[in-house]
A and B are shown apart, each in its own frame.
Chain A
Amino acid sequence: MSILLRTRVPQVLTSLVGLFLLVTYFFELPRSIVDVANFIPRFCVVIVAIAVGVGTITLLNHHVSLIRKREAGQWIYSIVMLVTLSLFVVVGLGMGATDRTFSWIYESLLVPCSTTTYAMWCFFIASACFRILRVRSRESLVLLVSAILVMLSNAALGELIWVNFPLVGSWIQTVPMMAVFRGLTMGVGLGLILLGIRVLLGREKGYTGGT
């Protein structure tokens, strides 16, 4: 595929559709044009659904090649992955997502695995705190003190030490943290508008290749 097709065509298409949607957002236009604008986001939903299919094929490709190569320490898990994927697809399509069997598979497999992985983050955060919350500079001292104050205010420990500790933590979250987050939100918001302008003007090449 030539560079023109690979880069220019997507950029032009993006710019045209983006400008059309902007115009329909800001201006009162005939119903027929507004309906087209409302229909376009639904295209995105369809494209995402197709992309999920593409992703599944990529996933299958990768794991089948691992099984073929008998990749050490990996190929058994690839078999487990493929069997589980097939189970969900066959049962889901065959019996429907509201079927009791599908619900049972969901609750027995996905829920415990997801919950366990989420729970493991507790240990990662604990070891990260142990590693990171050390006084090496002025900034790290501020980080340490505010982290300790917020931790004490969220647990009963703070109240056992001083009954107004929760108010201190609440103040940290409501005043300085909120001020920083509002500033960051505004900065990110303006950065988003700028990125949108770059994309509309065809100057953002990052997503089509060729930085």
Chain B
Amino acid sequence: MSERVEHYGTIVLYLLVAVAIAFPILNPIGLPMVVSEDTETYYKLVDSLKPGGIVHYGIDPEIGGFEELRSRMIAIGRHLFAKDARIVFVGFDPNAPGIYKMLIEDIGVPKGKVYGVDYVFLGYIPGLEIGIASYAKDIHALLSVDYFGTPLKDLPLMNEVKDIKDFSLIMSFSSHGLPLNYVEQISVPYHIKVAVCVIGVMAPTVKPYYPDQIIGFLSTPRMGAEYELLIRKPGIGIADFDAQTIAHAVLLVFIVVGNLTELKRAKKR
């Protein structure tokens, strides 16, 4: 009997998880949530930016990680544009150019914002730590053109940014260890704190540096939903949160079933 539960249980589990995730994404429910302290801290960080402040927006996830970070990246991008911040998009992961294209469409650049004046995209900078260190030291020595081939001297925004000290806020959105490289190459040598968004599994690695080297920290898809609530622009984060909740409920039921099976097996022995 318990072997049958094991075998068919896995198949039923897969089907139920698929339905549990698909249904709320197609029909968001809007389950209640309490906004956490970490999300509020990050929100206040962005909200306190002065109009015209220049922000480094690090597009550092891989494709799979981007899907988990997407709601947070979009919400924070929209918040930055709403605060009239000027954004330098750049990535230290090879997927940055592809992700930028999708991201900028999702964020939706507000009318009146001009490329080169209000935002630029510098493309992918290889070398991981070496790339970050070189970028922090002197951007113009590292790059002469942006991703689209426009010389940096022809971009008014880039004439105001020489090195990492010219930014009002440094942000990294990553699905692997790049935030730690930011801490090593930016926070420690230049004493500038960094705001990071990471995927859930990276949180324990990065959290020890919060709040001394990391000033803002978002680590779960739930925080994307919370940020959307704070900026009053509900989006995919809310749907993701609903899907996560229902999928968790299904998993908990199966964990109980699995333990009951185990108990029965133990009694037989």
> A160 vs B246: C-alpha distance in the bound complex, in angstroms?
13
Report whether B98 and A154 are in contact in the complex, using a CB–CB cutoff of 8 Å: no
Residues of B within 8 A of A123 (CB): 14, 17-18
* Cβ < 8 Å to A, chain B residues 5-38: 9-10, 13-14, 17-18, 21, 31-34, 36
> A98 vs B123: C-alpha distance in the bound complex, in angstroms?
10
What is the CB-to-nearest-CB distance from A116 to chain B, in angstroms, rounded to a whole number? 9
Given A103-B101, A130-B13, A135-B259, do A110 and B204 touch, yes or no (CB 8 Å)?
no
Report whether B36 and A98 are in contact in the complex, using a CB–CB cutoff of 8 Å: no
Report whether B241 and A129 are in contact in the complex, using a CB–CB cutoff of 8 Å: no
Q: Report the contact-size class of chain B (Cβ under 8 Å from the partner).
A: 35 or more
- Interface residue stretch chosen among A58-66, A67-75, A170-178, A198-206: A170-178
Residues of A within 8 A of B200 (CB): 154
Q: A135-B259, A152-B252 given. 4 additional CB < 8 A pairs?
A: A106-B98, A110-B63, A144-B259, A155-B245
Residues of B within 8 A of A178 (CB): 204, 207-208
Report whether A159 and B21 are in contact in the complex, using a CB–CB cutoff of 8 Å: no
Contact of A41 with B by CB under 8 A = yes
Report whether A185 and B251 are in contact in the complex, using a CB–CB cutoff of 8 Å: no
Contact pattern, A 35-66, Cβ under 8 Å of B = 1, otherwise 0: 00000011001000000000000000000000
* Cβ < 8 Å to B, chain A residues 117-147: 117-119, 122-123, 126-127, 129-131, 133-136, 144
Of the A-B pairs whose beta carbons lie under 8 Å apart in the complex, a sample of 20, sorted by A's number, is: A45-B130, A106-B98, A111-B63, A114-B62, A123-B17, A126-B17, A126-B251, A127-B10, A127-B13, A129-B251, A130-B9, A130-B254, A131-B258, A154-B220, A156-B245, A159-B32, A159-B33, A170-B36, A178-B208, A182-B208
A interface residues, tally (CB under 8 Å): 46
Residues of A within 8 A of B252 (CB): 148, 151-152, 157
| 6 residue pairs, one from A and one from B, having the closest CB atoms | A118-B64, A114-B63, A155-B245, A156-B31, A155-B248, A134-B262
> A139 vs B262: C-alpha distance in the bound complex, in angstroms?
16
Contact of A13 with B by CB under 8 A = no
What is the CB-to-nearest-CB distance from B13 to chain A, in angstroms, rounded to a whole number? 6
What is the CB-to-nearest-CB distance from A61 to chain B, in angstroms, rounded to a whole number? 24
Report whether B10 and A130 are in contact in the complex, using a CB–CB cutoff of 8 Å: yes
Q: Which of B64, B130, B149, B222 lies at the interface centre, i.e. has the most chain A CB atoms within 10 A of its CB? A: B64
What is the CB-to-nearest-CB distance from A37 to chain B, in angstroms, rounded to a whole number? 12
Residues of A within 8 A of B41 (CB): none
Report whether B258 and A133 are in contact in the complex, using a CB–CB cutoff of 8 Å: yes
* Cβ < 8 Å to B, chain A residues 147-205: 148, 151-152, 154-157, 159-160, 163, 166, 170, 173-174, 177-178, 181-182, 185
